[in-house]
């Protein structure tokens, strides 16, 4: 690891290998001079943008290394690369020969950068001249960081706890439809750095269960008609914990910005000067129908879809079967919703599917039509969480025919 900020690096060679290394040097803040009679496209773009100094000719000896702190050679001509390395050694300049790692005094480690709320972590691996092994090790550590297997939480003594006006951070993380596998890599990274996790009922609970005991979990889960922790108090919790200098993940089901009130939570934090990151999640409006094999759009069947939470907006929604309606949190009022759909133009035989507990082992889909779904759902005891899909796309589900015709409506 070298601090190249503001220091000259000379790269000899204009091919893709040089391009990859030059980009890394620039990322480290180096001043880069490239010596080569030609440049590959990536290097030419950097030269055209004025980010590198291009000496358009072959390497001409030690004078090309004048004032350099570091040298890199990758001309593809072993004799030239040996000459550059030899000249650098005589001038006591560290040099990497990309074509002969054993013949030079420095090596470039396999590296990866992982972003955390507290800054960037650079993973570097060196395997004594075995680049393949170094890459394997680097990738393994990177995966552990991204997945949250490696705990990135700082010790409590390193946290500021709000001293001197320094706040922590808040991340609004979409947990998807509740299964671990659909939580994003960035979501895992942030959970690996959090001191406090404020969790919804429909968030991926298995991920929460695996958090270290040192992480404080605050459950603010809501059910239909039961909001033990009102939204205003949730906003306050996020602000209060971040003001203590802690890292806070607000882990939500679905996507924070799809009927999830994430915008209100972000506004509350930013009003107090707290840094907020929003991590999109896989919304249940699309993913849960997909779990039942139902696309919300399909060429020649449906060109668009609308997502709503209940029946209030039905009078102004498109009524054709070629426009899919997705209802979230709509089970309690499903019978009334079906009546309104019929009253405002939906055909009585328009197909409907209700997908309960999407992606769970006991996932169940009930099929019906606008005319029958209310009664079918009541008979079968359909309960939340569930997603209701209305439109011709329901017929594309693999279980539509068997479920709707063979046994009366459920799979």
Position with higher pLDDT, 174 vs 407: 174
Please tell me which residue in 81, 87, 97, 200 is annotated as part of the active site. Answer: 200
Please tell me which residue in 118, 139, 151, 222 is annotated as part of the active site. Answer: 222
What pLDDT does residue 43 have?
96
Q: Is the dihedral of CA 360, 364, 367, 373 positive or negative?
A: negative
Position with higher pLDDT, 101 vs 203: 203
What confidence tier does 56 reach under pLDDT thresholds 50, 70, 90? very high
Q: Please state which of the ranges 7-11, 65-69, 299-303, 312-316 shows the lowest mean pLDDT.
A: 312-316
Residues 6+ apart with CB under 8 A from 25: 4, 9, 11, 32, 70, 72
The verdict on domain 158-282 having CATH code 3.40.1010.10 is: yes
261-to-179, 230, 231, 296 alpha-carbon distances in Å: 21, 12, 8, 23
Indicate if 329 belongs to the active site.
yes
Q: How far is the C-alpha of 109 from the C-alpha of 21, rounded, in Å?
A: 11
Token pair in block for residue 394: 């329901």
| pLDDT 10s digits, 342-368 | 998 899 999 999 999 999 889 999 999
Token pair in block for residue 361: 């082992």
CA nearest to 334, candidates 342, 292, 359: 342
What pLDDT does residue 229 have?
87
Q: Please state which of the ranges 115-124, 198-207, 226-235, 260-269 shows the lowest mean pLDDT.
A: 115-124
Architecture of domain 8-103: 3-Layer(aba) Sandwich (3.40)
What confidence tier does 101 reach under pLDDT thresholds 50, 70, 90? low
Residue located via tokens 């358009």? 56
Radius of gyration of the chain (CA): 29
Specify the pTM: 0.67
| pLDDT 10s digits, 249-269 | 999 999 999 988 999 999 999
What confidence tier does 166 reach under pLDDT thresholds 50, 70, 90? low
Q: How far is the C-alpha of 409 from the C-alpha of 171, rounded, in Å?
A: 41
Q: How far is the C-alpha of 116 from the C-alpha of 191, rounded, in Å?
A: 10
| pLDDT 10s digits, 323-339 | 999 998 888 889 999 99
Indicate if 200 belongs to the active site.
yes
- Sheet hosting strand 247-252, strand order edge to edge: 216-219, 196-199, 247-252, 169-174, 275-279
Please tell me which residue in 81, 195, 329, 392 is annotated as part of the active site. Answer: 329
Residues 6+ apart with CB under 8 A from 187: 173, 174, 175, 251, 279, 281
Can you name the residues that pair with 6 across neighbouring β-strands?
none
Q: Judge contact between 278 and 172, C-beta under 8 A.
A: yes
Indicate if 81 belongs to the active site.
no
Q: Look at residue 213 and tell me whether its pLDDT is greater than 50.
A: yes
What is the CATH topology of the domain spanning 285-406? 3.30.950
- Please return the burial class of 184, using the count of CB atoms within 10 Å of its CB with bins 0-12, 13-18 and 19+: middle
* Neighbour count for residue 87 (Cβ, 10 Å): 20
Token pair in block for residue 62: 């030690």
What pLDDT does residue 153 have?
67
Token pair in block for residue 43: 């290097």
CA nearest to 317, candidates 346, 295, 289: 346
Chain center to CA of 63? 47
Written as one string, the DSSP assignment of 284-334 is: HHHHHHHHTT--S-BTTTBSEEEEESSSTTGGGS--STTEEEEEES-STTH
| Residues 98-108, mean pLDDT to the nearest whole number | 73
| pLDDT 10s digits, 215-249 | 999 999 765 555 678 999 999 999 999 999 999 99
CA nearest to 306, candidates 358, 346, 335: 346
- Sheet hosting strand 351-356, strand order edge to edge: 304-308, 323-328, 386-390, 351-356, 364-369
Q: Alpha helices of 109-223 — where are they, by DSSP H?
A: 131-147, 185-191, 205-209
């Amino acid at each position: 690891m070298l601090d190249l900020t503001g220091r000259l690096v000379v790269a000899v060679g204009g091919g893709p290998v040089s391009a990859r290394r030059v980009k890394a040097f620039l990322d480290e803040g180096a001043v880069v001079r490239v010596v080569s009679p030609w440049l590959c496209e990536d290097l030419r773009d950097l030269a055209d943008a004025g980010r590198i100094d291009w000496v358009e000719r072959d390497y001409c000896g030690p004078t090309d290394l004048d004032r350099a702190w570091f040298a890199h050679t990758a001309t593809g001509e072993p004799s030239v690369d040996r000459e550059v390395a030899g000249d650098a050694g005589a001038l006591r300049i560290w040099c990497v020969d990309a074509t002969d790692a054993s013949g030079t005094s420095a090596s470039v480690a396999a590296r990866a950068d992982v972003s955390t709320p507290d800054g960037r972590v650079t993973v570097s691996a060196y395997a004594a001249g075995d680049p393949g092994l170094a890459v394997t090790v680097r990738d393994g550590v990177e995966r552990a960081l991204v997945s949250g297997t490696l705990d990135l939480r700082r010790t409590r003594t390193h946290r500021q706890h709000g001293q001197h006006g320094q706040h922590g951070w808040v991340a609004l993380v979409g947990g998807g439809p509740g299964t671990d596998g659909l939580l994003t890599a960035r979501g895992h990274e942030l959970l690996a750095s959090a001191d406090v996790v404020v969790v919804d009922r429909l968030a991926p609970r298995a991920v929460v269960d695996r958090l270290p005991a040192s992480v404080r979990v605050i459950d603010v889960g809501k059910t239909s008609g039961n909001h033990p922790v009102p939204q205003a108090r949730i906003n306050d919790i996020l602000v209060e914990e971040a003001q203590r200098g802690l890292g806070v993940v607000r882990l939500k089901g679905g996507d924070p910005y799809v009927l999830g009130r994430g915008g209100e939570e972000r506004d509350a934090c930013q009003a107090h000067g707290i840094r907020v990151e929003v991590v999109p999640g896989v919304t249940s409006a699309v993913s849960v129908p997909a779990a039942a094999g139902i696309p919300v759009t399909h060429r020649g069947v449906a060109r668009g879809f609308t997502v709503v939470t209940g029946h209030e907006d039905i009078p102004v929604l498109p009524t054709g079967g070629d426009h899919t309606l997705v209802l979230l949190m709509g089970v309690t009022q499903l019978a009334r919703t079906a009546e309104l759909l019929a009253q405002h133009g939906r055909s009585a035989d328009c197909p409907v599917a209700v997908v309960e507990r999407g992606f769970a082992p006991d996932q169940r889909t009930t099929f019906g039509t606008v005319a029958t779904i209310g009664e079918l759902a009541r008979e079968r005891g359909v309960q939340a969480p569930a997603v209701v899909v209305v439109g011709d796309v329901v017929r594309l589900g693999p279980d539509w025919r068997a479920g709707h015709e063979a046994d009366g409506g459920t799979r």
